[in-house]
Amino acid sequence: MKPAPFTYRRARSLAEAADLLAAGPDAKILAGGQSLVPMLNMRLARPETLVDIASLDALDYVDIVDGHLEIGASARQSAVAAHPLVRAHLPVLAAAIGRIGHSQIRNRGTVCGSIAHHDPAAELPAVALALDARILTYGAHGTSVHPAASFFTGTFSTALAPDEIVTAVQFPLPEPGTGWAFDEVARRSGDFALVGGTALLRTAADGTVERARIALFGVAATPVRLPAVEERVTGTALSRDVLADAVRLTAETLHPTADGHASADYRREVAAHLVHTALADAFAGALAGSRSDA
Ligand SMILES: Cc1cc2nc3c(=O)[nH]c(=O)nc-3n(C[C@H](O)[C@H](O)[C@H](O)COP(=O)(O)OP(=O)(O)OC[C@H]3O[C@@H](n4cnc5c(N)ncnc54)[C@H](O)[C@@H]3O)c2cc1C
């Protein structure tokens, strides 16, 4: 398949990229091209202009800024997953990236591109939601900060305005000793997940859960948090009964989508199972972390 004709522009600066995007008509950012190029080839997208930001070195970075791990828009997924700051402070992000497609895709795809594209079965929007990440943007009207909780608005849709560029995503650094888990179920390794989830737990000195964050993906148009489950496990030592309640609450409160890949019932059952194992694994990690803190 071949794309419809388009004009290709390689931006030499963020300001130039913003100008080209605003000049349109119907211009789109090209980052890693791992989602956009297949869509062009299948003619699911027909932008008139592509504004390539992949070679903007100023946006190719991973850094700690203001208590957040900040990832620039040109940073490739593989480089981010291997980065020492990510491995030290946010191993859950490295684990999530490791489940994206294949290494060839991760070598070109960007973290910010995945957030901007927002496939409901994508790993990184769920991690962003669980961690209350911030999405930094730049456009004709200046800079903006979007909280992840209000950024993902529907299937392949976000709060991003057509003239806005995601310049970076900021993940708050979890408190030391936070336990985490990330897992997904897909038909084959490298396929998009049918259902996936992540959990982050912090325990208090007495070994009870002080803070719990859980997010699922592949179950709805956007990633979802499970506030009833988070509330149920907080303040407990995650006994067998509490875990059973977490599974029940997941099944009761989740209303998964059905499609040609999986039924709603299947997704509900897998989600409940993933919540069980993710909570147990994150709790074990948190207890081990709090022991090594002491
Ligand atoms: C075979 C295959 C398997 C895959 N499996 C997975 C998977 O399991 N999980 C998963 O999450 N993804 C998967 N992907 C997609 C991959 O992760 C992409 O890299 C990612 O979705 C988009 O990142 P990108 O940098 O390639 O963006 P692009 O493809 O360049 O862009 C995607 C969209 O986001 C917009 N965009 C990109 N960057 C910005 C920006 N900075 N500001 C504003 N808009 C922007 C573009 O305009 C476009 O609309 C797969 C892709 C392939 C081809």
- How much is the average pLDDT of 7-17? 96
pLDDT for res 184: 98
Q: How confident is the model at residue 148 (pLDDT cuts 50, 70, 90)?
A: very high
The dotted CATH code for 57-172 is: 3.30.465.10
pLDDT surpassing 80 at residue 18 = yes
Q: List C-alpha distances in Å: 127 to 62, 173, 188, 189, 260.
A: 17, 12, 22, 20, 25
Beta-sheet pairing, 157-158 with 224-225:
unpaired
Question: Distance, CA 117 to ligand 1 centroid (Å)?
Answer: 6
Q: Which atom from ligand 1 is nearest to the alpha carbon of 38?
A: 53
Closest CA to 52 of 68, 28, 71: 28
150-154 long-range contacts, CB within 8 A, separation 24+:
151/115, 152/118, 152/125, 152/222, 152/223, 153/222, 154/221, 154/222
pLDDT in tens, 222-244: 999 999 999 999 999 999 999 99
> Which residue intervals of the chain bear CATH 3.30.465.10?
57-172
| % of residues, the chain, pLDDT over 90 | 94
Mean pLDDT on 106-131: 98
Q: Is the pLDDT of residue 71 over 90?
A: yes
- pLDDT-based confidence at 133, cuts 50/70/90? very high
Confidence of residue 1 (pLDDT cuts 50, 70, 90): confident
Can you tell me the mean pLDDT for 136-149?
Answer: 95
For residue 292, the model assigns a pLDDT of: 60
Residues of the chain with CATH 3.30.43.10: 7-52
**Residue nearest atom 53 of ligand 1, based on CA coordinates:** 34
Architecture per CATH, 7-52:
2-Layer Sandwich (3.30)
pLDDT band at 140 (very low <50, low <70, confident <90, very high): confident
**275, pLDDT greater than 60:** yes
- pLDDT higher than 90, residue 245: yes
- CA 293 to ligand 1 center in whole angstroms: 38
Going from the Cα of 33 to the center of ligand 1, the distance in angstroms, rounded, reads 6
What tokens does 63 get? 């850094």
pLDDT of residue 293: 55
Atom of ligand 1 nearest to the CA of 73: 41
Report the 10 Å Cβ neighbour count for 110.
30
CATH architecture designation of domain 179-293: 2-Layer Sandwich (3.30)
Helix (H, G, I), strand (E, B) or coil at 221: coil
User: Cα–Cα distance between 107 and 31 in angstroms, integer?
Assistant: 12
Query: In this predicted model, what pLDDT tens digit does every residue of 32-60 receive, in sequence order?
Result: 999 999 999 999 999 999 999 999 999 99
Lowest mean pLDDT among 108-112, 144-148, 211-215, 289-293: 289-293
As annotated, the residues of the chain forming the CATH 3.30.390.50 domain(s) are 179-293
Cβ contact 159:153 at 8 Å: yes
Edge to edge, what strands does the sheet with 7-10 contain?
A: 7-10, 49-52, 27-30
Ligand 1 proximal residues by C-beta, below 6 Å: 28-36, 38, 73, 100-101, 105, 109-110, 112-114, 116-117, 119, 122-123, 165-166, 192
Query: Which residues have CB under 8 Å from 94's CB, separation 6+?
Result: 80, 81, 82, 86, 87
Residue with tokens 């990229």: 17
How high does pLDDT run on average in the chain?
A: 96
Sheet strands (E) in the chain: 7-10, 27-30, 49-52, 62-65, 68-72, 134-139, 142-147, 152-154, 157-158, 164-172, 179-185, 195-203, 209-217, 224-225
215 has which bridge partners? 198, 225
Higher pLDDT, 165 or 140: 165
Rounded-to-integer distance, Cα 50 and Cα 37, Å: 10
Ligand 1 site-directed mutation target among 29, 37, 107, most atoms within 8 Å of CB: 29
Half-sphere exposure of 237 (CA within 13 A, CB side): 4
